[in-house]
Each structure stands twice: as structure tokens, then as C-alpha cells.
Copies of this chain bind each other. A is one copy, B any other.
Amino acid sequence: MTLQERDKKHLWHPLTQHKLYADHLAITKAKGALLFDDRGNKYIDGIASWYTCMYGHCNDYITNRVANQMKQLDQVVFAGFTHEPAIKLSEELMKILPKNQQKIFFSDNGSTAVDVALKMALQYHFNKGEKRGKIIALENGFHGDTFGAMSVSGLSIYNGCFEDFFIDVARIPVPSKENFESVKQQFIKLLETTNVAAFIYEPLVQGAAAMKMYDAHLLDELLGLAKQYNTLTIADEVMTGFGKTGKYFASEYLVNQPDIICMAKSLTGGLVPMAITSCTQNVYDAFLSEDLVKGFFHGHTYSANPIACTAALAGIELLQSDEIKEKIKRLIASHQQFDKHIKEHPKVKETRQLGVIYALDINVNMERYGSLRDKLFKFFMNKGVFLRPLGNTIYMLTPYIITDKQLEKVYNTIEEALEIV
């Protein structure tokens, strides 16, 4: 039996209607920017396996470090104990996080990082004697799949039949030049008349909403308002973090820094799962008390797993290396060149770029998971490029280490794809 046939017997894949999408392509190997299947084909990983493997698949620098760590210390309870990989990681993160971030709390994926952030915000006010139960979020935001994370996500396909079970969230439109006065008034009214614990947002780029981008100065004004009302601000940098916007974190484009930041995905360079929720000293201090239960009684078994911390440390070293910095610069410039050329194409409705994140919308209506989208996906795969169009949006978020030749191929394939829609 082939791997694909064996796959069908017992595996339930994420985000998949198996009746309509029964076949899953078997990947046997990955290296650098390439994925290899069991039929001898190779594919350029145009989205870095959901924005994780930014330093390339099976990166020797990371895997060698992890191989050593596995011989030394695999896992230990992180309540009552500590270890050097977690300590060193916290120190290295302090060097690249916005300056106001002072404490880090571990979990295992982006969804739990968001659940942790929401619980921190709710308990922060509770510990200060204020009962604030509402969260403000942006329309079309996506923050994950656990019940808390789903509650603040606005993309309805992910939420389905669960909306009765959500925590209390008010949603405002993503700010734009056109709607800003109205959004601002709506935001102020919420801050004034309801007890808002926190405002959560994906800074500057909404990933799952097809890399929709919005202006830093508009977000900055909202963040300033939130601070006036002592509403905590939560930046979900799960997708944007670790260099993708051209800065270590998207929040660096802003004057007003968040109280809490969520990180995951490329935190560990694509090797193993881990997430972090960082926060300010002020947030942390609200949990310090002689009263035991004012502490934060959240804890996953593998919190601060030494293997994952080691992968993260190696990844952050790479991120700060001249080599990766150069590669990021080159990608940004290269995308800009491509953009100049492609945005004039008659099939292109709009293009947008921030750092190494590049997206273009085709001027044809498509469903998020419709047949035209599937046709595009298959076209890309047949050409040896893994891209995952979202409706009529084609986006690239390649590993930083993609070669010039591979990048050229991605560009050409996108241009060819415009001919088939």
C-alpha cells in the first residue's frame, strides 16, 4: 500500500473536509526551502510550512544543538524547577522583544499562547479588584482554535457551531483611512461604557484573513486610547514575529507597545511545537501576592520543554546573524522588484507587502475553499511550488534562506498562474 492509501485508514487531518479532500500527498524529506514527496517530486515551500521553517527545513545548526540537548536534559517539571535553556531563551528574547516586555510564560502552540494572554488580562483586572469581562477584537482576526482563542477570532469558518460557548467579545472593523473616525468612535464607546479587559489584534498583518494589511499609525491611535482606559493590549505576533515584517516583531512599527505578546510558529524554527506569552512587569506584578490564588494557575506539562527551548535559542541566534539579516533584506528588495512588475498585470487587483510577507489579490471572485482556489493550488503543486491560496489571494512567505533561483521560480509560477484564472 502507498503512504497515501495508508494515510486514509486512521488519520483525521486538520482543517479538512475528508469527503471532498480525500488524498493527502506524502512528504518524505525536507531540506532548506524544499519538500520532497514519495513519487520523486520536489516542491519549493513557498509558505515555510505555515511560517515556521524560516531558517530552512532540517537546519543543521538547529538540529545539532537539539541533538546535544537530547542527551543532556529532555524534560523536567517547570513548577519549582528551572533549567538553562529556558533561562538563556528568556535572556535572548529580552534582547529582541519590545523593551517593555519583561516576563515570559510558556505554552505549546499559538492557541494556548492566546488563551494564556486572555486569562492573564482577565485575572490582571480581577486581582486589582476590578471585574472586567469583555475583550475587543478585530473583524476577520484569527487567533486560534481553542475555545478562548476561537472566541476572539472573527473568521466564521473556523468557529462554526461553537459561538454559543464563547467568552464575551466585541468586534470592531479593521481600521482604514476610510472608516477610521467611525471605528475610533466605536472603540471609545466600548472602552467607556463596558468593562473591557483587553484589546487583542494581529499587528499590521492579519494572516489567516489572507495577509490583509493595515496602517501602523491607525493601530497606534487605538492602542493609545486603550491605554487611557487601562485596557490591556495583546499583540498576537504568532505569524508576524521573528523577522517576517522586516523587524523582529511587527510591534516595532508602533509607538505604543503592547502589554502582552503571543509568539509561536517560527519561535522554534519549525522543529517542534512551543509558544510563549510575554508581558510587562506591570502585568506580572498584579499576580504577586501573599494570597496564593492570585498567582497564575495555568500550566501545561511540557511548559518550557528544554528541547523546544534549545531549538528556539538556535533559531534566535540565526535570526540575529548577519547572514539571515542579509537574506531578509534581499527578500524584501526582491519582492519589491517583483511587485513593480506584477501589479500592472490585468488579472491583478491589488498587491501588498510588509517585510518578507507578500500577497496579491486576483480580480476574480473566489470562495475561500472553492474550486478555482483548488485549481490554483493544483497548478502550483504541478509546477513544484507549494503555495496555499486563500480565496483569490496568492501569498508568499518563503523561508529566509530560499535561493535566488528558487525565488525566481516562485515568481514565474505565480505569473503563469494568473493566466489560468
Task: Decide if A33 is an interface residue (CB 8 Å cutoff).
Answer: no
Of the candidates B29, B67, B264, B291, the one whose C-beta lies within 8 Å of that of A301 is: B264
Number of identical protomers: 2
With A70-B271, A103-B12, A123-B160 already in contact, the answer to whether A82 and B299 are too (CB < 8 A) is no
Of the candidates B279, B299, B307, the one whose C-beta lies within 8 Å of that of A272 is: B307
Of the candidates B7, B74, B82, B294, the one whose C-beta lies within 8 Å of that of A57 is: B74
Task: Decide if A372 is an interface residue (CB 8 Å cutoff).
Answer: no
Task: Decide if A341 is an interface residue (CB 8 Å cutoff).
Answer: no
**Complex Cα spacing A147 to B123, Å:** 13
Contact A49 B27 (CB under 8 A): no
Contact B158 A297 (CB under 8 A): yes
Tell me the nearest residue of chain B to A277, going by C-beta: B12
Task: Decide if A91 is an interface residue (CB 8 Å cutoff).
Answer: yes
Of the candidates B83, B119, B144, B369, the one whose C-beta lies within 8 Å of that of A27 is: B83
Contact A298 B123 (CB under 8 A): no
Chain B residues whose C-beta falls within 8 Å of the C-beta of A148 in the assembled complex:
146-148, 165
Beta-carbon contacts of A310-333 to B below 8 Å, as 1s and 0s? 000000000000000000000000
CB distance from A375 to the nearest CB of B (A): 14
Tell me the nearest residue of chain B to A279, going by C-beta: B12
Contact B271 A74 (CB under 8 A): yes
With A82-B11, A82-B26, A148-B147 already in contact, the answer to whether A122 and B301 are too (CB < 8 A) is no
Of the candidates B25, B81, B109, B151, the one whose C-beta lies within 8 Å of that of A81 is: B25
Contact B77 A49 (CB under 8 A): yes
Question: How would you classify the secondary structure of chain A's contact residues: helix, strand, loop or mixed?
Answer: mixed
Task: Decide if A253 is an interface residue (CB 8 Å cutoff).
Answer: no
Tell me the nearest residue of chain B to A270, going by C-beta: B75
Beta-carbon contacts of A160-189 to B below 8 Å, as 1s and 0s? 111011011000000000000000000000
**Complex Cα spacing A190 to B301, Å:** 33
Contact B290 A6 (CB under 8 A): no
With A13-B79, A288-B18 already in contact, the answer to whether A297 and B157 are too (CB < 8 A) is yes
Task: Decide if A96 is an interface residue (CB 8 Å cutoff).
Answer: no
Task: Decide if A53 is an interface residue (CB 8 Å cutoff).
Answer: yes
Of the candidates B26, B87, B90, B377, the one whose C-beta lies within 8 Å of that of A84 is: B26
Of the candidates B20, B112, B126, the one whose C-beta lies within 8 Å of that of A290 is: B20
Chain B residues whose C-beta falls within 8 Å of the C-beta of A63 in the assembled complex:
67, 70-71, 74
Tell me the nearest residue of chain B to A88, going by C-beta: B6
Chain B residues whose C-beta falls within 8 Å of the C-beta of A16 in the assembled complex:
79-80, 295-296
Of the candidates B71, B103, B271, the one whose C-beta lies within 8 Å of that of A307 is: B271
With A80-B24, A160-B123 already in contact, the answer to whether A87 and B30 are too (CB < 8 A) is no
Contact A50 B301 (CB under 8 A): yes
Chain B residues whose C-beta falls within 8 Å of the C-beta of A26 in the assembled complex:
81-84, 87
**Complex Cα spacing A377 to B157, Å:** 48
Contact A296 B162 (CB under 8 A): no
CB distance from A27 to the nearest CB of B (A): 5
Contact A103 B292 (CB under 8 A): no
Chain B residues whose C-beta falls within 8 Å of the C-beta of A293 in the assembled complex:
17, 157, 160
Beta-carbon contacts of A96-126 to B below 8 Å, as 1s and 0s? 0000001111111111100100110011001
Task: Decide if A209 is an interface residue (CB 8 Å cutoff).
Answer: no
- Please, could you name 18 A-B residue pairs with CB atoms under 8 Å apart, sorted by A? A3-B82, A3-B83, A14-B300, A15-B299, A27-B83, A30-B75, A49-B75, A58-B74, A80-B388, A109-B302, A111-B112, A112-B145, A115-B146, A157-B297, A158-B298, A160-B297, A165-B168, A271-B307
Q: A17-B293, A51-B301 are in contact. List 19 more A-B contacts (CB 8 A).
A: A4-B82, A10-B104, A11-B103, A12-B284, A24-B82, A25-B80, A25-B81, A30-B72, A52-B302, A53-B75, A66-B70, A108-B108, A144-B300, A157-B293, A160-B293, A165-B167, A264-B301, A271-B307, A273-B273
